[in-house]
């Protein structure tokens, strides 16, 4: 059987593929928080099942859920988002698929940072468009800026797909720079898509602002023209529930709705009813406690890595990833990760999964695991580094 071109060209993602190593393995390679859904969410799911609320919903999702998401934007980010612009999706992946199908065609170029989450590139490739990677570095916080976007804009460029905070670096784009990017894209008749699935997990007040609140230098609203992808997986701890949302410009609501109707009818009804409880006061308070715990884990892990000669050039201001440099010890991040899997029983993700620019030098570590596991992992990494032959 011959595979379609799109299926044959998309590689397996090591970041999404649990490593094998026995019971002693500490898995720091998967971007999944160790927190589960909040108690009120579980109770809401049980109530939904008992009441038999399991039929299809509208393709754009429960109106009550879209209204609560809108209210969350207002209270958390001080931005007014019309519930009519919000489409509930089958995870952030479903949101990205809808957005790419609605906007991109074969032959289009989409500018993206290197490094970036590989699945985002694959969503672009799956519709026949091309991901054009913009090399970034520590000086730019491993994020592109408006100057890079303008310099690489070509005749076939359709838009940009960014992530803030980013996977794998945990770094965000400053609001002023994001506004400059969005303005440059708009001037060129392009589209701006921003993956904001880690937005709730921001640790620095300089960042953590939704792109939906952006304005240009003249004060004009940029957020109305930006597509924001979000999810209940990370901040809300509902990874396996496969529920996300997409905020689109008003003119895209109808085409995105028609795509959703035909691709998957609607997102999980049970997950939608359960997610209503995410916005209850007790749930939101629990999420904030968890965010503070993740910040404590970040501070611990970054300090440990730095101390053992594995520098983190940019402190992650969001998400739960540390992007560290292993080149002092190994010429290849793949070899570093293989060595630590086999000898330290710590699973990590090599940089090659996130783009070619830093494939050999950098490693992604997820600090979404418990503090006990992180402490064990740091002890094992230090032990193995001390056992390596001394570098000249």
Between CA 250 and CA 215 the distance in angstroms is 17
Whether 67 and 165 share a structural domain: yes
Q: For residue 20, is it within any domain? A: yes
Q: How many CB atoms lie within 10 A of CB 140?
A: 18
Question: Cα separations (Å) of 218 from 29, 183, 189, 226?
Answer: 43, 11, 18, 17
Task: Look at residues 279, 301, 319 and tell me which one is the last residue of a structural domain.
Answer: 279
User: What per-residue confidence (pLDDT) applies to 16?
Assistant: 47
Weakest-pLDDT range from 142-156, 220-234, 352-366, 378-392? 378-392
| 195 shares a domain with 140 | yes
CB neighbours of 206 closer than 8 A, spacing ≥ 6? 174, 317
DSSP sequence for 168-221: TT-----HHHHHHHHHHHHHTT-EEEEE-TTTTSB--TTS---GGG-B-TT--B
Same domain for 55 and 114: yes
44-53 pLDDT, tens digit each: 999 999 999 9
Span 117-139, average pLDDT: 96
Q: Is the pLDDT of residue 238 over 80?
A: yes
Strands 191-195 and 157-163: parallel
Q: Kindly tell me if the per-residue pLDDT of 154 is higher than 90.
A: yes
Interval 141-147 mean pLDDT = 98
Q: Is residue 332 part of a domain?
A: yes
If asked whether residues 123 and 217 sit together in one domain, one would say yes
Confidence band of 194 (pLDDT split at 50, 70, 90): very high
Last residue of a domain, one of 279, 305, 335: 279
Q: Which tokens belong to 368? A: 């979404």
Residues 216-239, buried b or exposed e (16+ Cβ, 10 A)? Answer: eeeeeebbbbbbbbbbbbbbbbbb
Q: Is residue 326 situated within a structural domain?
A: yes
Q: Is 101 inside a domain boundary?
A: yes
Query: Average pLDDT in the 216-224 region?
Result: 90
Percent of the chain with pLDDT over 70: 94
Asked whether residue 331 is assigned to any structural domain, the reply reads yes
Query: Which pLDDT value is given to residue 12?
Result: 57
Q: Is residue 131 part of a domain?
A: yes
Helix or strand holding residue 91 (H, E): helix 91-103
**DSSP H or E segment with residue 131:** strand 130-135
Q: Are residues 105 and 57 in the same domain?
A: yes
Q: Tell me, yes or no, whether 25 and 118 share the same domain.
A: no
Measured on CA atoms in the order 34, 298, 135, 206, is the torsion positive or negative?
positive
Domain end: 263, 279, 295, which one? 279
- Pair 174, 252 in one domain: yes
Q: DSSP letter for 312, please.
A: -
| Per-residue pLDDT at 89 exceeds 60 | yes
Q: Buried b vs exposed e over 324-341: b needs ≥16 C-beta within 10 Å?
A: bbbbebbebbbebbebbb
Note whether 275 and 286 are same-domain residues.
no
Tally of domains within the chain:
2
Q: How high is the mean pLDDT of the chain?
A: 94
The parent domain of residue 355 ranges over: 5-37+282-387
pLDDT of residue 24: 77
Residue 125 has pLDDT above 50, yes or no: yes
Q: How far apart are the first and last CA of the chain?
A: 52
* pLDDT-derived band at 55, boundaries 50, 70, 90: very high
Give the pLDDT confidence score for residue 171 in this predicted structure. 98
147 and 198 belong to one structural domain: yes
Dihedral of alpha carbons 296, 297, 303, 304, sign: positive
* Cα gap 339→138, rounded to integer Å: 26
State the pLDDT at residue 21: 46
d(CA 220, CA 214): 9
Closest CA to 187 of 222, 152, 163, 139: 222
348 pLDDT more than 80: yes
Instruction: Please answer whether residues 132 and 112 qualify as being in contact, where contact means their C-beta atoms are separated by less than 8 angstroms.
Output: yes
pTM as predicted: 0.92
Query: Tokens for 150?
Result: 């303008």
pLDDT in tens, 279-321: 999 999 999 999 999 999 999 999 999 999 999 999 999 999 9
Q: What is the pLDDT of residue 299?
A: 98
Q: Is residue 392 part of a domain?
A: no
Q: Average pLDDT, stretch 338-343?
A: 96
Contact 238, 44 (CB under 8 A): no
Same domain for 320 and 301, yes or no, is yes
The CATH number that applies at residue 32 is: 3.90.1150.10
pLDDT surpassing 90 at residue 392: no
Give per-residue pLDDT as tens, 2-24: 676 666 566 555 544 444 444 47
Q: Are residues 83 and 190 in the same domain?
A: yes
Calculate mean pLDDT across residues 48-64. Answer: 97
Q: Are residues 91 and 206 in the same domain?
A: yes
Q: What is the CATH number of the domain that holds 240?
A: 3.40.640.10
């Amino acid at each position: 059987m011959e595979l379609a071109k799109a299926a044959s060209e998309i590689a397996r993602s090591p970041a999404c593929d649990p490593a094998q190593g026995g019971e002693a393995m500490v898995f720091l390679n998967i971007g999944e928080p160790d927190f589960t859904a909040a108690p009120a969410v579980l109770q809401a799911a049980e109530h939904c099942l008992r009441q038999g609320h399991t039929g299809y919903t509208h393709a754009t999702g429960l109106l009550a859920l879209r209204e609560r998401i809108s209210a969350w934007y207002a209270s958390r980010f001080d931005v007014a988002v019309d519930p009519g612009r919000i489409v509930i999706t089958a995870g952030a992946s479903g949101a990205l698929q809808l957005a790419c199908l609605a906007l991109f065609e074969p032959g289009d170029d989409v500018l993206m940072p290197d490094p970036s989450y590989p699945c985002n590139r694959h969503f672009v490739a799956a519709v026949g468009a091309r991901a054009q990677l913009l090399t970034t570095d520590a000086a730019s916080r491993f994020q592109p800026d408006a100057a890079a976007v303008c310099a690489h804009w070509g005749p076939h460029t359709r838009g940009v797909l960014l992530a803030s905070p980013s996977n794998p670096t945990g770094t965000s784009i400053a609001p002023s720079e994001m506004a400059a990017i969005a303005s440059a894209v708009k001037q060129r008749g392009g589209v701006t898509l921003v993956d904001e699935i880690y937005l709730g997990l921001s640790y620095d007040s300089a960042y953590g602002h939704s792109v939906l609140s952006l304005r240009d230098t003249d004060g004009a609203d940029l957020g109305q023209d930006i597509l924001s992808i979000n999810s209940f997986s990370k901040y809300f701890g509902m990874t396996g529930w496969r529920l996300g949302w997409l905020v689109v410009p008003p003119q895209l609501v109808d085409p995105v709705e028609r795509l959703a109707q035909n691709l998957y009818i609607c997102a999980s009804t049970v997950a939608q009813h359960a997610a209503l409880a995410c916005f209850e006061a007790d749930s939101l308070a629990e999420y904030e406690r968890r965010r503070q715990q993740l910040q404590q884990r970040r501070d611990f892990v970054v300090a440990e890595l730095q101390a053992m000669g594995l520098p983190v050039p940019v402190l992650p201001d969001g998400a739960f990833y540390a992007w560290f440099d292993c080149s002092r010890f190994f010429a290849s991040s793949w070899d570093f990760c293989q060595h630590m899997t086999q000898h330290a029983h710590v699973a990590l993700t090599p940089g090659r999964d996130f783009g070619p620019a830093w494939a050999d030098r950098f490693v992604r570590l997820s600090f979404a695991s418990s503090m006990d596991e992180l402490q064990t992992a740091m002890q094992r990494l230090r032990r193995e580094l001390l056992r390596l032959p001394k570098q000249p």
